[in-house]
Amino acid sequence: MVRTQVLTCLLSMLIIVGPACRPGAVETPAFDEQRAFSHLEAQVAFGPRVPGSDAHDRAREWIAGSFRKYTPHVSLQTFTGVFGGSEASMQNILCSFAPEKGDRVLLCAHWDSRHHADRDPDPSKHTLPVPGANDGASGVAVLLEIAAAFAAEPPPVGVDIVLFDGEDGGEYSNNDTWLLGSRHFARVMPPAYQPRYAVLLDMIGDRNLGLTSDQLSMNAAPSLWARIKNLCGAEGISISSEPMGIVDDHVPLIERGIPAVDLIDFDYDSWHTTADTPDKCSAESLGKIGRVVLTLVYGEK
């Protein structure tokens, strides 16, 4: 993902009632943050998930197989694009819960990792790939554990989980070289597909978790942003007061008319460096985000 600074603006906050207070709401299941962290470690153990690499292939099979433990509705969406200057085959990983329901929400993350650590403070490491513990594996880890919760206690709405490939191979000077998987998904999704909203998880494993206020999320889904901000407050998650526009996988969804919010901690010193390793992340941070998303989904009517 890339970012552009924007001016601060006022956002009207909506006060919401928690799902436990809503008559007939489905009870929100627990979130196993330690198991989520083990999912993060498992992905990093494959090596950098750079499209075209053996680690990418093995990680894809492991991730898809893990989701199949919770739902039979798992598929791969294959496409070709230029990642890090080279053409590569990539695959979005799609899974659904209660696909027969027309009323749906969309949860997503990216599962690839960057091909070179061009932000590393050591120039000699700029050609090395990024381990992608926080930038990639953290969002997938949370969604894997959320899938386990959905299998144990079906949510009140249908849910689609999409893991985008090809997010992180771009050049900073050209926004069109990023977000390949989400652009493909938005381009080929049926016109009738219109979930209530989408929530993107990206870089949410930082042990010093503090979310960034994304102006694009505020503009596209102000009421959803307000609900999530309230839930984050209940979990003790701080959110920056200075908004910025973040170019991330929620952008193609917004362009297709889906209200989408990006949950991201952009204040991460190890971003696009060789130091983006599991020790910079924590189970506690994954748990906080996991509970926010579960409470949001199980609070739907």
Per-residue confidence (pLDDT) for residue 17, from 0 to 100: 31
Q: Which domain holds residue 227?
A: 2-298
Contact yes or no for 10/219 (Cβ under 8 A): no
Global pTM? 0.92
Amino acid symbol at 221: A
Strand-pair partners of 4: 245
Per-residue confidence (pLDDT) for residue 135, from 0 to 100: 98
d(CA 143, CA 54): 23
d(CA 287, CA 265): 15
Nearest to 268 by CA among 218, 217, 189, 211: 211
The tens digit of pLDDT for each residue in 150-193 reads 999 999 999 999 999 999 999 999 999 999 999 999 999 999 99
Confidence class for position 22, pLDDT limits 50, 70, 90: very low
The tens digit of pLDDT for each residue in 284-295 reads 999 999 999 999
Report the greatest alpha carbon distance in the chain. 59
Per-residue confidence (pLDDT) for residue 14, from 0 to 100: 24
Over 90: is that where the pLDDT of 9 sits? no
Per-residue confidence (pLDDT) for residue 27, from 0 to 100: 87
The tens digit of pLDDT for each residue in 213-272 reads 999 999 999 999 999 999 999 999 999 999 999 999 999 999 999 999 999 999 999 999
Structural domain tally of the chain?
1
Nearest to 109 by CA among 80, 132, 143: 143
Contact yes or no for 108/130 (Cβ under 8 A): no
Residue 191: how many other CB atoms lie within 10 Å: 7
CATH code at 65? Answer: 3.40.630.10
Over 90: is that where the pLDDT of 1 sits? no
